[in-house]
Amino acid sequence: MSAVDGMLTDMAGRICSPVFVGRAEELKTLTAAFRAAASGQPSMVIVAGEAGVGKSRLLEELTDSVTADGARVLLGGALELGAEGLPYAPFTAALRTLVREVGADAVRALVPDATELGRLLPELGPGSRHDEIGSARGQLFEEFLLLLERLGEQAPLVLVLEDLHWADRSTRELLVFVIRSLRTARVLLLATYRSDDLHRRHPLRPLLAELPRIPHVERMELERLNRRDVAAQAAGILGHDPNLQLVDTLMDRAEGNPLFVEALLGCSDQAQCDITDSLRDLLLRGVERLPEPAGQVLRVAAAAGNRVDYRLLAAVCDMPESTQAEGLRAAVESNVLISDENTLRFRHALIQEAIHDELLPGERITLHRRYAEALEENPSLIGEGRVQIEIAHHWYAAHAADRALPAAWTAAAAAERSYAYAEQLALLERVLALWEQVPDAIDVDHVTLLRTAGTAAYLSGNPTRAAAYATSGLAEVNPDAEPLRAAELYLLRGRSRQQLSRLDQGEDYYSAADLVAGQPEGPLTAQVHARLANLQFLIGANEASGRSARHALELADRLGLPAVASDALITLASRDAQRGDIESALTRFAEAERIGSSVGATEQLLRCAINHTDVLNLAGRYEEAIEVARAGIARARAAGLHRTLGAFIGNNLSESLISLGRWDEAEAVLTEALAQSPAPNTEGFLVGQRAILLLGRGRVELAAGIVERGLSIRDPNDPITQNRASRAQLDTRIALAHGTPAEALDRVTPLLLETDPPLASRHAWTLLVLAAQACAELRLQAVAMHRLDQVARVEDLLVELRARADQASVDTPTAAASRQMFLAECGRATGEPGYAAWDRTAEMYGEFHQPYEQAYALFRAGEAALAAGDRETAQCRLAAARVKSAALRAVLTAEIDGLAQRGRLSIVGQAQPAPTDPRAAYRSATGLTEREMEVLSLLAAGRTNRQIGEALFISPKTASVHVSNILAKLGVDSRTAAAALAHQMRLFEGSEAS
């Protein structure tokens, strides 16, 4: 942001991210501070963070926004010129910006009696020639303060001072004077500094300790980006979603530093993300200034990795103890190394890598060999549990293949015991890479190694690689000679492809079943039938699923295989629930969990949590489901399966929270689960839940976009019923939100009416409700447009839908509520008067504490009562609906307010009166400002940016900024889509713009 930002100079030519990610809360804080300042309460926010973490980008986002709203922004930054720097450099730079904008005469006119401002900028005058006991300096401070106050009178002022870690003493003192002296001026001060540049004796530290004691001063520390934000940043730079491996690489190497992400993506080989020369210069700049003992220690420490124990470093360092202590002290005080009790770690992994890359080849090999030998001689030099992994790493880096391969195999086994599956996979891949050099180093054949690597890949959340290893293993196995080995590989590939939502997953399971059929029944036979039972249940082959599960359970009992028994019981429990026998299902789940817990069958226990929460949701027992899900997520995290099974449990947890109206909690759960980059099948469900939330809050285009991206990774011919039903449901909801009920019916009816055998009732009822809702909307459109053919289509479809509903069982409380909603929608679709059906629907959903469905039913009840002329009942129902909808910040609130306004009803919630204008509710739901609502009204009327600017007395550029903000907040990608959304919500009916 600052023209004098040394880092940006060093990093010239890097790829800059076109998207702003990961700082929404921080931007809200800055925006709130600006609003306080604009109202006459001066404020200051100090933004801290390491180099490259995004301080300048955050301030840019704020200043761009406030500039569009008419604020004035002045920018200044300190210069890297030593301990005392250039006096007043940030303030001088800010004044120079002002003079360029308005001219020196205009600045002097604001403070006509000023005599000392010329000390900051010669263009403003020569300044006085004397300084009696500091009086001139005090006068300078007063004049600068007055200038800020006068500027604030013209428009809200934002003064940005960057890089305070380089600021001189005079700058710091003027800053303290200004913030202490401002009282009612419309001024916001923003300052940044690099926290990693502050050593213990840095002169900025006393100021940082003093400023927070001053009222209206806030300090903000920017953390590194999380995985999801890094993926979003990479997607913005690349123009497409990055693959899982690239995100892994960026997280490992950039560690969430956005500047480093940009730099790494600028390298020629993005798969490797090598350090560019400019990035290496930046990383080593601070290191090169250190005394030689520190450089020696850092070179030895860099060979250990990003973290090293004191005792291990001392054992490897070949230097006097006093020299080593001197070097360590300098490295720690400069923040290159950070001391954590008994260990040292590099402030950033890329610094360690850059130093390591600077080692000469012979020096590097020698250091790694010394580390390996030291650890083999004394394993207690580092914490228990990582010795084997560290030894394997150092022998590999020392190019000693004969020592590295067996060490990696041993370390992989240790990683598996610690549930560190990603680390296990990396070690096994190292074994595979070294295999040709020393094939007899371990007593394991190549196929076993491939299967083990595939299993580790599956458990670490990388099903694509797991399937590839299984396929490679199958290419080396003769099924006729070794049927059981081939069956193991088919089973692994089938499970991996199931995570990838691949249509051919079933073929692998059946191939495995065929191979074990002719062999003596053993543990593998039981495992194959248990997995086959699960697949058959998912694709709707219920009878076959029952036979396979019972056979697996019988074999498990006979052969003593508790994990397989648990797996089979889970499938049988899920079948019980599908038939409506909830209590039997819960009994089986309890038994499956008891058996799985007795042997620590983690994968089965997590699958049990998935299916158990699903059944509890089906029964409307959402609080119980939440309890089971949270326990399952904790177990998944402890077992290293949070990216796989843990993420799927998160999907079920979000479903419970959404049902109970705890939408913000659900959003947090979904954000965390999606940040894990789960497998495509799981990601599809998580995206679906997030889309439902977005639709509930009116973010239609954003919901449609993520559904299209999320579900595109699934096989469109996926045989799994719940996957197909999920896609049909989301497509139908989006079409309804777009106001195209005919398209909605095209999406939902094929699966609902043409599937043979028919969908299970749990999926059928969801789609039946949506289909009936689409019929009701289509009939309203058809009647308004006198389309008798469409009216006839609705009538014919309702006959088919009711016939399908008669086939669907009502065997759970939620199914009964869905049936009631379906009947009420059918009544709306046929124009039947009365609101009793809607009242009954609201009552039933109230029993489950589902506020959104209850609010929707009350809204429809009010609509029906108003149509019947019963204004008192309409007012009562709409008021109750609004209280529930507004608490969710649902877009339904705007519809409720719109109906009340058209019916001239005054609806009052329990806590606040309903606004007479539905735009107020829409503003609350979307976060649009009043000015943005004005721009949206003109945009909806088809005005160009220039016409909008003329109407509102703003520039076309400012109008363009407002339009961009509106598109972002509404989650749409075009002016046309924003206008369509405004018309759909009837926001500006009767206004001059429309």
Q: How far apart are the first and last CA of the chain?
A: 41
Mean pLDDT is highest, among 81-90, 820-829, 915-924, for 820-829
Residue type, 15: I
The answer for residues whose C-beta is within 8 angstroms of residue 444's C-beta and 6 or more apart is 409
pLDDT in tens, 76-94: 887 655 444 567 888 888 8
For position 83, what pLDDT does the model report?
42
pLDDT of 359 > 80? The answer is yes
Which residue would you say has higher pLDDT here, 229 or 6?
229
Q: Read off the tokens for 313.
A: 């470093």
Three-point CA angle 321, 323, 328, nearest 5°: 95
Angle at 319 between CA 314 and CA 325, to 5 degrees: 60
Pick from 619, 632, 630, 555: nearest CA to 593: 632
Rounded distance between C-alpha atoms, residue 770 and residue 745, angstroms: 9
Q: How many CB atoms lie within 10 A of CB 195?
A: 17
Q: Which residues pair with 983 in a beta bridge?
A: none
Segment 524-534, tens digit of pLDDT: 999 999 999 98
pLDDT for 776: 92
pLDDT in the model for residue 914: 38
Tell me: the pLDDT tens digits for 698-755? 988 888 888 877 666 666 666 677 778 888 889 999 999 988 999 999 999 988 887 7
Q: Which of 445, 352, 428 is nearest to 392 (CA)?
A: 428
Cβ atoms within 10 Å, residue 321: 9
Which pLDDT belongs to residue 551?
95
Mean predicted confidence (pLDDT) in 622-634:
94
Distance CA 427, CA 415 (A): 9
pTM over 0.75: no
d(CA 862, CA 880): 10
Amino acid residing at 245:
Q
Cβ within 8 Å of residue 328, ≥6 positions away: 294, 297, 337, 344
CA 774/CA 902 separation, integer angstroms: 23
* DSSP count for the chain of H helices, then E strands: 48, 8
307-320: per-residue pLDDT in tens? 888 889 999 988 88
- Nearest-10 Cα torsion for 200, 203, 207, 208: -40
Cβ atoms within 10 Å of 84's Cβ, excluding its own: 13
Q: Are 539 and 721 in contact (CB under 8 A)?
A: yes
Task: Classify residue 2 by burial, with Cβ atoms within 10 Å: 0-12, 13-18, 19+.
Answer: buried
| Strand, helix or coil for residue 276 | coil
Which residues, in sequence order, are CB contacts of 360 under 8 Å at separation 6+? Answer: none
Contacts with 166 (C-beta within 8 Å, 6 or more apart), sequence order: 78, 79, 80, 81, 85
% of the chain surpassing 90 pLDDT: 39
* CA R_g for the chain: 33
**Whether pLDDT at 510 is above 70:** yes
Beta bridge partners of 346: 337
CA–CA separation, 628 vs 606, rounded Å?
Answer: 10
Phi-psi region at 661: left, alpha or beta (left = phi > 0; alpha = psi -120 to 50): left
Looking at residue 713, its pLDDT comes to: 62
pLDDT for res 167: 84
Angle subtended by helix axes 813-829 and 836-847, to nearest 10: 160
Evaluate the CA torsion angle 637, 638, 640, 645 in order and state its sign: negative
Query: What pLDDT score was predicted for residue 274?
Result: 66
Q: Are strands 217-221 and 187-194 parallel, antiparallel or unpaired?
A: unpaired
Q: Check residues 455 and 168 and name the one with the higher pLDDT.
A: 455
Q: How far apart are alpha carbons 402 and 41 in whole angstroms?
A: 70
Pairing mode, strands 343-346 and 307-309: antiparallel
Residue 918 has a pLDDT of 57
For residue 503, the model assigns a pLDDT of 56
- Cα 735 to the center of its chain, rounded Å: 26
pLDDT for the residue 502: 66
Average of per-residue pLDDT across 963-990: 69
Q: What is the pLDDT of residues 2-39, one digit of tens each?
A: 333 333 334 334 456 677 888 888 998 999 999 999 98
Task: Look at the alpha carbons of 300, 302, 303, 306 in this order and tell me if their dihedral is positive or negative.
Answer: positive
Give me the residues paired with residue 73 across strands. 158
Q: What is the mean pLDDT of residues 387-404?
A: 90
SS3 state at 545? helix
pLDDT digits (tens, 9 = 90+) for 48-65: 988 888 888 899 889 988
Q: Are 937 and 993 in contact (CB under 8 A)?
A: yes
Query: Mean pLDDT, to the nearest integer, of 820-839?
Result: 90
Task: Name the residue among 694, 683, 630 with its Cα closest to residue 244.
Answer: 683
Q: What is the pLDDT of residue 420?
A: 83
| Strand ranges inside 332-445, DSSP E | 337-340, 343-346
Model confidence at 1: pLDDT above 50: no
